[in-house]
Amino acid sequence: MVFVDHRRADIERLIRCALEEAYRRDREIETIDPLLKWARRLFPYLHEGTLNEYARTALRVIKNRYQLKRLKGRQMVLHDLFLEAEESSLES
Query: Is the CB of residue 31 less than 8 Å from the CB of residue 59?
Result: yes
Statement: residue 6 has pLDDT above 70 = yes
Statement: residue 73 has pLDDT above 50 = no
Task: Using alpha carbons, select from 9, 8, 13, 19 the residue that is nearest to residue 63.
Answer: 19
The predicted model gives 44-55 an average pLDDT of 94
Q: Does the predicted TM-score (pTM) go above 0.85? A: no
Statement: residue 34 has pLDDT above 90 = yes
What are the extents of the domains in the chain? 6-91
